[in-house]
Amino acid sequence: MGFLSPWFLAGSLAVALPLWLHLLRQHKSVPLPFSSLMFFERRTQSSIKHRRLRYLLLLALRILLLLLLALAFANPFIQSSGAFDGSKSKLLVLAVDNSFSMRQGNRLERAKQEAVSTLSVLRPATDRAQVMAIASGVVMMSEAGADLNTLRAAVQAVPPSDGLGSYVELARALRSIAQAARIPVEAHLFSDMQKSSWPPNFADTRLGDQVKLILHPVTDRRLPNFAVETVSAPRRIYDPKKVRIQATLAGYGTERATKRVTLLVNGKEMASKPVEIAAGGRASVEFLTLDAGYGLNRGQIRLDPPDAFPDDDRFNFSAERSDPRRVLFLHEGRNQRGVLYFRTALDAASDGAFVMDAVHSEQAAGVQLSKYALVVLSDLGSLPSGFEDSLKTWVRGGGSVWISLGRFAGQGQRVPVFDEAILESRYSAREGERFRAIAWFDPAHASFRGDTRWDAVKFYQSIRVEPGKARVLAKLTDDTPLVLEKQIGEGRALVFTSTFDNIANDFPLHASFVPFVVETSRHLGRLDEGSASLTVGAHVELRSAAERGAAVEVLDPAGRRALTLEEGAKALSLALTAQGFWDVRRPSGRHELVAVNADRRESDLEVLSAETLALWQNTGQGSPQQGNAGPGAGVEPEKKPLSFWWYLMLAALLLSVAETVVGNRHLAVEKGDA
Looking at the predicted structure, is the pLDDT value of residue 323 above 80?
yes
Q: Is the residue at 178 inside a domain?
A: yes
pLDDT for residue 396:
92
Nearest to 104 by CA among 558, 598, 556: 598
Share of the chain above pLDDT 70, in %: 86
Section 278-287 average pLDDT: 94
The answer on 331 and 277 residing in a single domain is no
Share of the chain above pLDDT 90, in %: 51
pLDDT for residue 282:
94
Q: Which amino acid is at 205?
A: T
pLDDT for residue 60:
80
pLDDT for residue 29:
58
Question: Phi, psi at residue 650, to the nearest 5°?
Answer: -65, -40
For the ranges 156-160, 251-255, 326-330, 630-634, the lowest mean pLDDT is seen at 630-634
For the ranges 9-13, 157-161, 173-177, 271-275, the lowest mean pLDDT is seen at 9-13
Q: Is the residue at 43 inside a domain?
A: no
Section 136-158 average pLDDT: 93
pLDDT for residue 83:
47
The answer on 211 and 121 residing in a single domain is yes
Section 44-67 average pLDDT: 66
pLDDT for residue 617:
92
pLDDT for residue 24:
61
Total number of domains constituting the chain: 5
Nearest to 517 by CA among 370, 285, 347: 347
The answer on 564 and 437 residing in a single domain is no
Looking at the predicted structure, is the pLDDT value of residue 7 above 80?
no
Q: β-pairing, 236-237 with 314-321?
A: parallel
pLDDT for residue 624:
46
Which of 193-202, 334-343, 650-659 is the most confident on average? 193-202
For the ranges 64-73, 240-249, 270-279, 589-598, the lowest mean pLDDT is seen at 64-73
Handedness of CA 496, 500, 504, 505 (dihedral sign): positive
Of residues 71 and 115, more confidence is placed in 115
**What CATH number corresponds to the domain at position 261?**
2.60.40.10
pLDDT for residue 121:
87
Of residues 627 and 204, more confidence is placed in 204
- Domain of 313 in residue numbering reads as 225-321
Looking at the predicted structure, is the pLDDT value of residue 340 above 60?
yes
The model's pLDDT over 151-205, given as tens digits with 9 standing for 90+, comes to 999 999 999 999 999 999 999 999 999 988 888 999 999 999 999 999 999 999 9
Q: Which amino acid is at 648?
A: L
The model's pLDDT over 529-538, given as tens digits with 9 standing for 90+, comes to 668 899 999 9
pLDDT for residue 81:
53
Q: Is the residue at 108 inside a domain?
A: yes
Section 511-518 average pLDDT: 92
Q: Is the residue at 314 inside a domain?
A: yes
Chain Cα centroid distance, residue 470: 32
**What CATH number corresponds to the domain at position 389?**
3.40.50.880
Distances (CA, A) of 605 to 535, 617, 663: 19, 22, 76
Looking at the predicted structure, is the pLDDT value of residue 549 above 80?
no
**Please, what is the end-to-end C-alpha distance for the chain in angstroms?**
50
The answer on 336 and 456 residing in a single domain is yes
Of residues 164 and 622, more confidence is placed in 164
Of residues 439 and 87, more confidence is placed in 439
Q: Is the residue at 55 inside a domain?
A: yes
Q: Is the residue at 603 inside a domain?
A: no
The answer on 662 and 633 residing in a single domain is no
Compute the mean pLDDT over every residue in the chain, rounded to the nearest whole number: 85
pLDDT for residue 415:
93
pLDDT for residue 173:
94
Helices then strands, each counted (H, E), the chain: 11, 33
Looking at the predicted structure, is the pLDDT value of residue 451 above 90?
no
Structural contact between residues 553 and 594, judged by C-beta atoms closer than 8 angstroms: no
Of residues 613 and 37, more confidence is placed in 613
Section 248-262 average pLDDT: 95
pLDDT for residue 488:
92
Q: Is the residue at 360 inside a domain?
A: yes
pLDDT for residue 626:
45
Q: Which amino acid is at 298?
A: R
**What CATH number corresponds to the domain at position 557?**
2.60.40
The answer on 504 and 416 residing in a single domain is yes
Contacts of residue 468, defined as CB under 8 A and 6 or more positions apart, other chains included, come to 420, 421, 486
Longest CA–CA span in the chain (Å) reads 156
Q: Is the residue at 121 inside a domain?
A: yes
pLDDT for residue 342:
94
pLDDT for residue 628:
45
The answer on 341 and 452 residing in a single domain is yes
Looking at the predicted structure, is the pLDDT value of residue 32 above 80?
no
Section 96-121 average pLDDT: 94
Of residues 37 and 76, more confidence is placed in 76
The answer on 253 and 171 residing in a single domain is no
The answer on 465 and 395 residing in a single domain is yes
**What CATH number corresponds to the domain at position 95?**
3.40.50.410
The answer on 631 and 649 residing in a single domain is no
Looking at the predicted structure, is the pLDDT value of residue 359 above 80?
yes
- The angle, 0 to 180 degrees and rounded to 10, between the axes of the packed helices 107-118 and 148-156 is 170
The answer on 421 and 407 residing in a single domain is yes
Domain end call among 467, 492, 524: 524
Task: State the Cα–Cα distance between residues 260 and 459, nearest whole angstrom.
Answer: 53
pLDDT for residue 70:
78
The answer on 546 and 511 residing in a single domain is no
Global pTM value: 0.71
Nearest to 648 by CA among 8, 11, 69: 69
